[in-house]
Structure 1
Amino acid sequence: MDSSLYVLVEDLRGEGVEKVLDRVRGYGVAGITVGAVHHESRDITPHGLSKLTLRHDGAHFDLPGDLFAELRLVPPAGYTDAFDGLLDACRARGLKVHGRTVFLRNGTLGAQHPDVSVRNCFGDRGFPTDLCPAHPEVRQYAVALARSVARLGVDSVVAEGLHYRPLKAERSFVPLGPMDAYLMALCFCDFCMARASDLGVDAGMAREECARIVGGLLEGDAPAEGEVTRAALTAYAGPDVVGYARARCATVTSLVSQVADAVASEGSRLVFVDPTGAVKGYRDGLPSPVLAAYDGWQLGVDPVALSDLMLSFTVLAYARDATRVADDVDAYLRSVGKDRQVRAVLRPGYPDSDSADRLTAKVHGARAAGAHAVDFYAYGLASHPVLDRIPHALS
């Protein structure tokens, strides 16, 4: 069974490439998934050179001039020497190298160019981190970024953030139900609305309904109860909003198609990361009952449509329960087809795995459900005793 350990470039720089790779090899995994393009974050790093690591938006390699010379959107420069000798060092140890690429989560670009970020039903562009998948320049940027990472010679380009994102307000003293938060996260920029209109959706009516419902909530109406489903959304917001949600899936599918073709043109392959499992279980490893494969549409992810475009998918199986992990993998394979490859990403420690036995049970569950690979997230974020669970889990 294939496997990989996620590693970020700050981990490699802080502890040293040779030291990290020797440890990785000792865990028994088949390779690393290294953050070639990452987003800003502030992380506790238990065994890092710094115990609190600040990561910045950036591409950790030299950008090919021919791909970005004519583009307005250019990723900030990170540690551009991060890949110098890395592939050779990995292959000398028999390790594969996958290039993790965060595409549309980039607060630096969103702040520099607000017009490429999402715009809600009130006209607000309050999320500079979220670049809109429908914007033509964002799509050009994603294609150039994909080709750049593929040119590094990685075994695959692991595509993260190639979709819409949920609402994440830092503070809200107004209670938002799940459906209200979903409506407030919908992008109504000119390009999203035009794409929806081309598919026969009354995009203007969808925006008005969202503004009416969320506006009432902000003025004191009670929040909606229950989880977001298409049936509940139809009853709550009407068919135009549901049609608008379907149009988002078409937008994401067409973007993924362009990116997959770009990666293939450079001799590599794209692995699409569906983050729905993380959205549902990130905080505590206790996801809501609906399986991730069936809630991806909320982010514009349509696994069935995407299965016509590519071979490999990654499921973020952020759950404490081994049965839930197996069910999520099985549901995804049912959606994309048993002939497709599904990789399950597990967190080896807090908050999902409180013991080596629990992690082992989840690895075995993913395997039994048909997972092609099990990956682990992430080297720099877990303590050494937690990482030491991986060899036992893979045995």
Structure 2
Amino acid sequence: MDSSVYVYVEDVRGEGLQPVLDRVAGYGVTGVTVAAAYHRTRDVTPHGSSRVTIRRDGVHFLPPADLFGGLRLVPPVQAGAEEAPLAALRRATAERGLKLHGWTVFLHSVTLGDVHPDVTVRNCFGDRGSLADLCPSHPDVRLYAVALARAVARQGVDSVVAEGLHFGAFGHGYHHERSFVALGPMDLFLIGLCFCDFCMRRAADLGVDAEAARHECARIVGGVLDGDPPAEGEVTRAALTAYAGPEVVAYARARSEAVTSLVSEIAAAVADEGSRLVFLDGTGAVKGYADGLPSPVLAAHDAWQLGVDVVALGDLVPSLGVLGYARDAARVADDVGAYRRSTGKERELRVVLRPGPPDTDSADRLAAKVRAVRAAGADAVDFYAYGLMPYPILDRIPAALSS
């Protein structure tokens, strides 16, 4: 079974290229998935050269002038990019017979959003309140995303692993988030919808009354901000219809056209550069990243909330990535099964598991998850992430793969 370990360039730089690859190869995986373009974080890195690592928005290579020349949006460049760390990693993995995948964060960048707030999502009140979230409907964002995909593919990677290539969720839009208002799940969803001119025009072209949807969202969320009780319960299409009306649901569903068409462009661009696209659906992270306890509705069935049409993408991309962020092996298997039914048998399904906290508390639990996702139809299992997990946690991987 194909498999890889997610790795940061900072891991390789701090510990040394050969020592990192020695360890990764020892886990029995077939490849490395390296963060070629990443976003701003502060991470506890238990075996890094520093025990707390600050990562910044940007790419670990020099952006090709023929791709970004004349574009308004250009990715920030990470320190040390001039040393070509991805090229060195490509050579070293090839010598060992390992695949190299280019992990790329597309539409989540505080740096770009802060400089160009007009390309970020605009909520129902007209606020640019999520500067980290670039809107996939904006023409400049779409040009940037295609250029970024081509640039990563040119690093010689076997695949471009696309993270954040869809709309974001309101709860992950900045870095110090504060709200002392009791907003329910549906209110958070409504305030996270983008009503920029480009999103509204796309929805209107599909026959949706976008202005009516915006007005209704502002009325409902504004009422809660003024003291009305929030709605409880999961965000489902039926519950949202009852809470906000059919026009809002139609508007939310129309967003998938922007995502699907952009993914289609990027898949073609990546293939033109001699690589292939792996689309990571972020829904599993929205549901279970914090604690591994996702709400009952399966991730594939909630993907529409991020503008992801799993069925449509199953016809467009060669590979779909599933984030298996749940403690229970049966739940992870159910998620994989739902994606498999939606995409058919022809598409590769790659499942990302965390070998340690917060959702894997033992080697036996990790092995049970690997067995479960294999039985549910997964083609590959990847492990997140080398620099974030202590060595004893990472040492669970070989037994899990061979179980």
1:364 aligns with 2:371: yes
Match of 1:386 in 2: 393
- Counterpart residue type for residue 327 of structure 1: D
Could you say what secondary structure the match of 1:295 adopts? helix
TM-score of the two chains, using structure 1 as the length reference:
0.99
Please tell me whether the aligned partners of residues 160 and 276 of structure 2 are also in contact (alpha carbons under 8 angstroms): yes
1:214 correspondence with 2:217:
no
Give the alignment of 1:272-291 within 5 angstroms: 272-291=279-298
**C-alpha distance in 2 between matches for 1:97 and 1:133:** 27
Question: How big is the shift at 1:39?
Answer: 0.3
**Pairing partner for 1:203 from 198, 210, 216:** 210
- 1:87 corresponds to which residue? 90
In structure 1, which of residues 241, 245, 253 is the aligned counterpart of residue 260 of structure 2? 253
**Equivalent residue for 2:327?**
320
Measure the CA separation in 1 of the matches of 2:67 and 2:193. 31
Matched length: 395
Measured against aligned partners, the alpha-carbon deviations of 1:60-85 in whole angstroms (never above 9, x if no partner) come to 01111100001010000013122132
Aligned-pair Cα RMSD in Å: 0.7
SS of the aligned residue for 1:47 comes to coil
Cα distance in 1 for residues equivalent to 2:24 and 2:30: 9
* Unmatched runs of 5 consecutive residues or more in structure 2: none
Partner of residue 228, structure 1: 235
Alpha-carbon distance between aligned partners in 2 of 1:138 and 1:163, rounded to the nearest angstrom: 11
Q: Deviations over 1:18-37 (max 9, x none)?
A: 11011100011100100000
SS of the residue corresponding to residue 129 of structure 1 reads: strand
Counterpart code for 1:370: G
2: distance between equivalents of 1:172 and 1:143? 35
Greater mean deviation of Cα atoms: 64-73 or 78-87 = 78-87
Give the C-alpha shift of residue 255 in structure 1.
Answer: 0.7
Question: The residue matched to 1:71 in structure 2 has which SS?
Answer: coil
1:95-118, Cα deviation, whole Å (9 max, x unpaired): 100000000001100001110011
Q: Residue 319 of structure 1 aligns to which amino acid in structure 2?
A: A
Q: Superposition pairs for residues 1-395 of structure 1, below 5 Å?
A: 1-78=1-78, 79-80=80-81, 81-168=84-171, 170-395=177-402
Structure 1 outlier segments of 4+, above 3 Å: none
Percent of residue pairs identical: 71
Give the deviation of 1:339 after TM superposition.
1.8
TM-score, L = length of structure 2: 0.97
Per-residue deviation, 1:363 = 0.4
Q: Secondary structure at the match of 1:217?
A: helix
- Cα distance in 1, alignment partners of residues 119 and 346 from structure 2: 37
What is the Cα deviation at residue 383 of structure 1? 0.2
Q: Distance in 2 between matches of 1:369 and 1:354?
A: 22
Q: Is the 8 A contact 2:87 2:155 kept in 1?
A: no
